[in-house]
Amino acid sequence: MTADDTLQPIASDAPVGTASASGQEHPRVGTIVALGSMTALGPFTIDMYLPALPDIADALDSSPSGVQLTITGTLIGLALGQLVIGPLSDTLGRKRPLVAGIALHVVAAFLAVFATSVTMLGVLRVFQGVGAAAAAVITMAMVRDLYSGNTVAVVISRLMLVLGVAPVIAPSVGGALLVTVDWRGIFVVLALIGVVIALIAIFALPESLPPERRRPGGLGPVLRTYGMLLRDHTFVSLTLVASVVMASLFVYVSGASFVYQDQFGLDQQQFALVFSAGAFSMIGATQLNVRLLRRWSPRQIVQWSLTVAVALGLVAVVVAFCEIGGMAGFVAALWIMLGAVCFVLPNAPALALSRHGEAAGTAAALLGSLQYAVGAVVAPLVGLLGNTSTAVVASMTACLAIALATMLASARRGV
């Protein structure tokens, strides 16, 4: 493993206050807002049409599990796109691949308006995912370019605020649109959102990777870089932790509309409100994480948060299975669980990316692609298990237990 002299790994046992300040830059609000808008593209792409899933199933003569595969298609696009776009951004710089990817997202969203089958919609969602992958992977690479040390974890926590707000806004916007338009109108709005984000990328973001720090292109150098990353056992462990934790959220996203609307009888607007409200626990957790980093290391926060999340998950399974408190009991247990999960999401990726500043795009690509690939595999399982509240929280808890076991095994190996 090589190291960039100016971009040192996060000390896994050191809180923010003890980290070296060398190479670090105080995060500027404007830059964080611009990066946050890039971060929002993926969640909007996934979440905004959730209230319309039952309508899409009816309109395209598909089953609930069939229309859920359009979510899987998006996740596949996000996973595969990052594997290509990340290394490309290490070679060409960040902005050109970013703008090209967002443009692809806009075109795919516009064409989705004219989908005549769930298969056609699923294919277009794959291309939408590839386009959104550019925003996801290059945002993380830019964070690694611009900041170092534990500042990376702090900045990612700020971006996680966007990931909390986006699920609050996206389903609500989707539900509101369904009052006046059908599900196709949602994809028109997604295309317009992509146009706005592309303009922000062009005019508000700097090119964070100067030519002298770019890596040689070609298949050989890319494969060697991926090989270097895969030989780093700590990076692989942290990537697996981040991936299965993210998969637990995809399980929730994939099954939520059917649980709330079919099992609990909410309409589209009520679902959007309940689903959105759950994001407030996620917002609170990610912002509290910034304060916790002043006292504890990212690794300590990850381990304790996973322990709490698994315990809360077991409680949520019992509540859902025994129908304790009805929907209110299920929602309360789930929201607390989501908050615990969101202490993990900024810190595990920050720990992983801090190890490879010299190949930030490729490292972010491998991290991000595995997150979405695992999510693409796990999310449809909820549909196969019946889209019940018990199936959702049991699947989420299983993901979190795998993450905790991986983190503990990594600690025992001393990596």
| Cβ pair 311, 122 in contact under 8 A | no
Predicted local confidence at residue 375, as pLDDT: 78
Measured distance CA(225)–CA(354) in Å, rounded: 15
d(CA 3, CA 22): 15
- Domain covering 27-205, topology: Growth Hormone; Chain: A; (1.20.1250)
Banded model confidence at residue 386, pLDDT cuts 50, 70, 90: confident
Q: Where in the chain is the domain with CATH 1.20.1250.20?
A: 27-205, 224-414
For the ranges 44-48, 278-282, 287-291, the one whose mean pLDDT is highest: 44-48
- 298-310 pLDDT, tens digit per residue, is 889 999 999 999 9
* Nearest-angstrom CA–CA distance, 315 and 321: 10
Q: What mean pLDDT do residues 273-280 have?
A: 79
The residue assigned the tokens 């070679």 is 91
Question: Does residue 24 carry a pLDDT above 60?
Answer: no
Can you identify the CATH homologous superfamily of domain 224-414? MFS general substrate transporter like domains (1.20.1250.20)
φ/ψ of 311, rounded to 5, equals -60, -45
Considering only residues 350 and 184, tell me which one the structure prediction assigns the higher pLDDT.
184
Residues listed for the chain: 415
Of 309, 314, 318, residue with least CA distance to 336? 309
3-state secondary structure of 7: strand
Largest distance between two CA atoms of the chain? 61
| For residue 244, pLDDT beyond 90 | yes
What local confidence, expressed as pLDDT, does residue 334 receive?
86
Q: What local confidence, expressed as pLDDT, does residue 152 receive?
A: 81
- The mean pLDDT value for 93-109 works out to 96
So what's the pLDDT on residue 160?
Answer: 74
Q: How far from 312 is each of 306, 308, 337, CA to CA, in Å?
A: 10, 6, 6
pLDDT beyond 60 at 414:
no
Q: Distance between CA 353 and CA 361 in Å, rounded?
A: 9
> Taking the mean position of all CA atoms in its chain, how far away is CA 138?
13
CA distance readout (Å), 120 to 20, 49, 76, 183, 377:
51, 16, 15, 15, 20
Residue holding tokens 């979405």?
A: 372
CA proximity to 172, closest of 258, 280, 269, 52: 269
State both tokens at 147: 């900041």
DSSP 287-306: HHHHHHTTTS-HHHHHHHHH
* Average pLDDT value for residue range 76-101: 92
Task: Write b or e for each residue in 64-95: b if 16 or more Cβ atoms lie within 10 A of its Cβ, otherwise e.
Answer: bbbbbbbbbbbbbbbbbbbbbbbbbbbbbbbb
State residue 3's pLDDT score: 41
Q: What is the pLDDT of residue 307?
A: 95
